[in-house]
Amino acid sequence: MPELPEVETIRRSLEPHLLGRTIAAAEVRHAHVTGGTARRDFVAAVVQRSVARLWRRGKYMVFDLPAAEGGVLLHMVCHLRMTGRLRYLPPRARWEESPAHTHAVFRLRGGGRLIFHDVRKFGRLLLARAEDLPSLLPSGRDPVLDGLDGRALRQILAARRGCLKALLLRQDLLCGLGNIYADEALHRAGLHPARSAAGLVEADFSRLAVGIVSVLEEALAFRGTTLLDYRSGDGEKGAFAQYLRVYGRCGRPCRTCGASVETIRVAGRTTAFCSRCQRP
């Protein structure tokens, strides 16, 4: 569920606590978290490394962990999937969440802990060397990091089959959008989610690019959307939910025209839209 604005908010909230800090000890409580790496190997690899950089691509967060003495740079790639959380706890702060859902704990030299918590257990912390990193990260354009305008969006989408909603969710085309912001971007652009990209004209691509970038940046300014699980790295809720125009608002009036927001099934996903603002 965390999409680009939520992952970027977590990254920004963790950065001041983690940059330059050394991992003194680590504990991985559930084997699935580290993918194919054995828990013991994972712990041995990260301990005594420091966090030199914390960056993001799409919905992925990457910790750059250089070795203490000129060894190989290691990356820890985090994907939160449905319900994953990364949380920094200052020294002596209590962690109140269920131990059954606390999958990894990193103790920092000098005090403080980084906790990886996940109710649904789809989230991952994967180790990668530099040469393996590209295969773990999405190849699509990140609308916030790379920018996006109508021309770029047209190049990405124009020759693609499939409906707009499905294309916006493809992380090999654009990375960072999920169900919430895909629906919101299409509503902002006045485009029906089941329309095909092939039928769009230049003005449509321009409106959609503006819709995508504007909704992501506004959500980021409000530190993301908290519906249920999502919290920042400091444990705070995002405040953008009240500004959503269609997502999660089925049966309520469209904020643009007042017609009732509807949901349909598109690309296997429940999709919210306004049939008056977004004609087929």
Write out the catalytic residue numbers: 2-3, 59, 269
Give the DSSP H/E element, type plus range, for residue 4.
helix 4-18
Can you tell me the distance from the alpha carbon of 24 to that of 270, in angstroms, rounded to the nearest whole number? 44
121 is an interface residue for Zn ion by CB under 5 A: no
Nearer to Zn ion, 56 or 188 (CB): 188
Q: How many CB atoms lie within 10 A of CB 14?
A: 21
Size of residue set near Zn ion by CB under 5 A: 7
- Residue pair 111/34 in contact (Cβ under 8 Å)? The answer is no
Name the residue nearer to Zn ion (CB basis): 12 or 276. 276
Least CB distance from residue 108 to Zn ion, whole Å?
49
Distance between alpha carbon 108 and the CA centroid of its chain, in Å? 25
Q: How far is the CB of 216 from Zn ion (least distance, A)?
A: 21
Q: Does the footprint of Zn ion cover residue 277 (CB under 5 A)?
A: yes
Q: Binding Zn ion by CB under 5 A: which of 62, 137, 219, 274?
A: 274
Nearer to Zn ion, 229 or 262 (CB): 262
Residue 165 Cβ, how far from Zn ion at the closest point, in Å? 17
If binding is defined by CB under 5 A, does position 276 make contact with Zn ion?
A: yes
For residue 259, the 8-state DSSP code is P
Distance, first Cα to last Cα, the chain: 27
Cβ atoms within 10 Å, residue 158 = 12
Q: Is 21 near Zn ion (CB under 5 A)? A: no
Q: Is 140 helix (H, G, I), strand (E, B) or coil?
A: coil
Nearest distance from residue 192's CB to Zn ion, in Å? 12
| Under 8 Å between Cβ of 257 and 274 | yes
| Subset of 241-260 contacting Zn ion (CB under 5 A) | 254, 256-257, 259
Interface pattern 140-179 for Zn ion (x via CB under 5 A)? ----------------------------------------
The answer to whether 278 and 187 are in contact (CB under 8 A) is yes
Told to check if 263 binds Zn ion by CB under 5 A, we report no
The DSSP call for residue 239 is: B
**If we measure between CA atoms, which residue out of 118, 127, 28 comes closest to residue 80?**
118
* Closer Cβ to Zn ion, 128 or 274, answer by number: 274
Nearer to Zn ion, 260 or 270 (CB): 260
Binding site for Zn ion (CB under 5 A): 254, 256-257, 259, 274, 276-277
